[in-house]
């Protein structure tokens, strides 16, 4: 049985399916594979070259449509297909697409005409004739069966046999989530094609939520379509001018295009995004005029812009202002030279306000040489303001290090820095506000925090792991956090997790396997190999994260008290209890027994691997992300 197989590039297209369903397979240029499976009939291929065909509604490229199969002798093509998915049953449904294009010039007295029959059901309402040198398709849905018998049968009037260029079969899977807004989806497809983004971007950009494209954040309303609100393409090797397609993401609030090779001017459509509050264009080669729409929003405080390490910083005086509205030179200078100064001045005003009203401001946290206060921007949005103690002789270096690192990184699982200020002895960092506080308080202080379910704990672990993975893999050069702990994992209103506190973070060169540095971090989380050898690598963060995983399982602190005078490490406590009984003996009782024990076991096995004594035997954070994802799948309802 000869077969034809070709993979093609294609954009996501609407399909004949209810809104509550999605086609598994129409997800990616790389995931679409075509098979023509023919039994019992010799089907030679006919071909045509030198012609670019118009794509059909499902985006088939011309390379696929330039060949077709036809019987040598006879008037029909017969073949069958057996679904390979063992879960297919009578309630399953498939979506079939047959592709046709006439490749031969048919004489006026000849006719190619046939019917498409699937399991004795004719799919074409009238006899079908393929269009000459034009891609066409016939599609429909079928109920699940053990075998599908497919026939293409010439009509009585036909003088030529049937042909088949290609065929696709997709299993339709129910979805409880709505699709992404079509305008947003088209824009993302265009951005992917324009820049050749190498991320694992497949299918609907935002749906289902568990498989949303990397670098995207979306809203998921109870009714209606999901919208893309954040896009992080930092350090993705983008080359070229900023595509105007970004202006089609009308719900976008955060856009990070930093650390790429973008050049040319900034399109005005970016400044006209109605909801945009954060734009990072640093470390590119942009030049030309800054759109007035961006300058206006930056001046009135509704938009934070970063242009660090770009020609704008060096050539600001020569950059003309766009738009009809004239501004005074002093104001223009304050905005344009560089725009970073707007952020710094903006943060300074917040800092002074907090200092003046310190006795009235709500203190979120107090550390050894810093305090964190709740503040508000002019638009009413809450922020967290970390203020260094004026009396402290420590912390200045850590403050500046944290600001330096956060100006070049932006990820959905890392707390965002809105701005910072250094004015003599006054230092302040302004972060996005995380309303649910830190993970440690949720695990320990049950009197003020609602107990976390196992499903929520898994999601927090997955989010935090992705944040660390980005530091280790996505940042160039890589970063080592050095102080991973439950207190530095902050939670959003919907309990999404973000890594915070980058004061001890170190730059880690790809050409080195370790960095020699004096031990720093928090006892109980500190990598013993690092403590002994002063040699740190990204595996030190992996060790600390293993301790966090044990905290999530047990609800206990890294140092577990045995009696009034004796305490042991949480890793040893877990090991002792597992040796004496079942895993239930270590699971946090506040979860009320609501969990999949296999899911807990998987994380309980992962944590000791993260805490291996020898660092090279520990997994990478990429491995950890994969393992936690598998545990989440075990916990998910069938």
- Mean predicted confidence (pLDDT) in 216-225: 83
Grade residue 467 by pLDDT with cuts at 50, 70 and 90.
very high
- Encode pLDDT of 95-104 as tens digits: 899 999 888 8
- Encode pLDDT of 330-364 as tens digits: 222 223 323 333 344 444 444 444 443 444 455 56
Q: Could you say which of 3.40.1710, 2.60.40, 2.60.120, 1.20.58 is the CATH number of the domain covering 3-174?
A: 2.60.120
pTM recorded for the entire structure:
0.48
pLDDT given at position 553:
95
pLDDT given at position 30:
40
Q: Which fold has domain 439-635?
A: Transferase(Phosphotransferase); domain 1 (1.10.510)
Least confident of 127-141, 150-164, 206-220, 409-423: 409-423
- Encode pLDDT of 134-154 as tens digits: 888 898 888 888 889 999 999
What value does the mean pLDDT of the chain take?
75
- Expressed in angstroms, the distance from the first to the final Cα of the chain is 38
Q: Which of 414, 344, 348, 418 is nearest to 383 (CA)?
A: 418
Element (H, E) at 513: none
37: exposed, middle or buried (C-beta count within 10 Å: 0-12, 13-18, 19+)? middle
* Residue 271 token pair: 């400044």
143: exposed, middle or buried (C-beta count within 10 Å: 0-12, 13-18, 19+)? exposed
182-338 is a CATH 3.80.10.10 domain: yes
- Mean predicted confidence (pLDDT) in 215-228: 85
- Mean predicted confidence (pLDDT) in 438-456: 82
pLDDT given at position 332:
28
Grade residue 370 by pLDDT with cuts at 50, 70 and 90.
low
Q: What percent of the chain has pLDDT over 70?
A: 68
pLDDT given at position 48:
55
Residues forming the active site: 483
Give the highest mean pLDDT range of 56-65, 167-176, 505-514: 167-176
Q: What percent of the chain has pLDDT over 90?
A: 26
d(CA 97, CA 596): 40
Grade residue 534 by pLDDT with cuts at 50, 70 and 90.
confident
- Mean predicted confidence (pLDDT) in 618-632: 92
- Mean predicted confidence (pLDDT) in 498-526: 62
pLDDT given at position 39:
38
- Mean predicted confidence (pLDDT) in 280-288: 81
- Mean predicted confidence (pLDDT) in 436-460: 85
Q: Could you say which of 3.30.200.20, 1.10.630.10, 2.30.110.10, 3.30.1540.20 is the CATH number of the domain covering 346-432?
A: 3.30.200.20
* Residue 255 token pair: 């856009």
- Mean predicted confidence (pLDDT) in 52-67: 62
- C-alpha torsion sign, points 439, 363, 404, 402: negative
Residue of 221 and 423 predicted with greater confidence = 221
Q: Is the pLDDT of residue 603 over 70?
A: yes
Which residues pair with residue 516 across a beta bridge?
A: 535
Domain boundaries in the chain? 3-174, 182-338, 346-432, 439-635
Q: Is the pLDDT of residue 241 over 60?
A: yes
Residue of 431 and 494 predicted with greater confidence = 494
Least confident of 30-44, 161-175, 198-212: 30-44
d(CA 114, CA 164): 11
Q: Is the pLDDT of residue 447 over 90?
A: no
């Amino acid at each position: 049985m000869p077969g034809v197989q070709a993979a093609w590039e294609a954009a996501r297209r609407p399909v004949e399916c209810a809104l509550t369903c999605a086609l598994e397979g129409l997800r990616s240029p790389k995931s679409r594979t075509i098979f023509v499976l023919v039994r019992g009939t010799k089907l030679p291929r006919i071909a045509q070259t030198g012609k670019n065909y118009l794509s059909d509604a499902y985006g088939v490229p011309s390379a696929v449509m330039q060949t077709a199969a036809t019987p040598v002798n006879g008037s029909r093509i017969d073949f069958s297909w057996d679904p390979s998915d063992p879960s297919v049953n009578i309630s399953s449904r498939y979506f079939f697409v047959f592709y046709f294009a006439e490749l031969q010039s048919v004489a006026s007295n000849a006719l190619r005409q046939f019917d498409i029959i699937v399991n004795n059901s004719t799919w074409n309402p009238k006899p079908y004739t393929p269009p000459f040198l034009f891609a066409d398709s016939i599609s429909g849905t079928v109920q699940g069966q053990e075998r599908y018998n497919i026939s293409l049968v010439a009509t009585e009037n036909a003088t030529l046999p049937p042909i088949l260029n290609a065929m696709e079969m997709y299993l339709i899977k129910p979805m409880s989530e709505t699709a992404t807004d079509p305008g947003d989806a088209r824009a993302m497809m265009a951005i992917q094609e324009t820049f050749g983004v190498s991320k694992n971007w497949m299918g609907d950009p935002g749906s289902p939520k568990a498989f949303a494209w990397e670098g995207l954040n979306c809203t998921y309303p109870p009714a209606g379509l999901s919208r893309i609100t954040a896009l992080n393409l930092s350090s993705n090797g983008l080359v070229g001018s900023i595509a105007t397609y970004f202006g089609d993401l009308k719900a976008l609030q955060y856009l990070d295009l930093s650390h790429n090779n973008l050049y040319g001017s900034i399109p005005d459509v970016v400044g006209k995004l109605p909801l945009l509050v954060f734009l990072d264009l640093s470390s590119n080669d942009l030049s030309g005029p800054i759109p007035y729409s961006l300058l206006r929003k930056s001046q009135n405080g509704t938009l934070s812009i970063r242009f660090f390490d770009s020609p704008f910083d060096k050539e600001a005086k020569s950059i003309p202002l766009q738009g009809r509205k004239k501004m005074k030179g002093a104001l223009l200078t304050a905005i344009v030279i560089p725009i970073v100064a707007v952020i710094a001045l903006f943060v300074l005003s917040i800092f002074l306000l907090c200092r003046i009203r310190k006795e009235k401001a709500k203190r979120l946290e107090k550390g050894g040489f810093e305090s964190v206060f709740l503040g508000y921007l002019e638009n009413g949005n809450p922020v967290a303001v970390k203020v260094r103690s004026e009396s402290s002789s420590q912390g200045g270096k850590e403050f500046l290090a944290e600001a330096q690192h956060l100006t070049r990184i932006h990820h959905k699982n890392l707390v965002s820095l809105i701005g910072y200020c250094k004015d003599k002895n006054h230092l302040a960092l302004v972060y996005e506000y995380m309303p649910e506080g830190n993970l440690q308080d949720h695990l320990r202080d049950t009197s003020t925090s609602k107990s976390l379910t196992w499903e929520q704990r898994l999601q927090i672990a997955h989010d935090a792991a992705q944040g660390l993975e980005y530091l280790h893999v996505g940042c160039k050069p890589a970063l080592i956090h050095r102080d991973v702990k439950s207190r530095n994992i902050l939670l959003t209103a919907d309990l999404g997790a973000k890594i915070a506190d980058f004061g001890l973070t170190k730059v880690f060169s790809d050409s080195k396997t370790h960095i020699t540095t004096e031990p720093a971090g928090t006892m109980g989380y500190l990598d013993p190999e690092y403590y002994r050898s002063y040699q740190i690598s990204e595996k030190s963060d992996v060790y600390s994260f293993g301790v966090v995983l044990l905290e999530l399982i047990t609800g206990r602190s890294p140092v577990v008290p045995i009696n009034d005078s004796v305490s042991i490490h949480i890793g040893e406590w877990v090991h002792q209890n597992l040796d004496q009984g079942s895993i239930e003996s270590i699971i946090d009782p506040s979860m009320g027994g609501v969990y999949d024990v296999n899911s807990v076991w998987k994380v309980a096995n992962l944590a000791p691997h993260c805490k291996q004594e020898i660092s090279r035997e520990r997994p990478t954070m990429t491995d950890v992300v994969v393992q936690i994802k598998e545990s989440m799948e075990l916990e998910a309802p069938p």
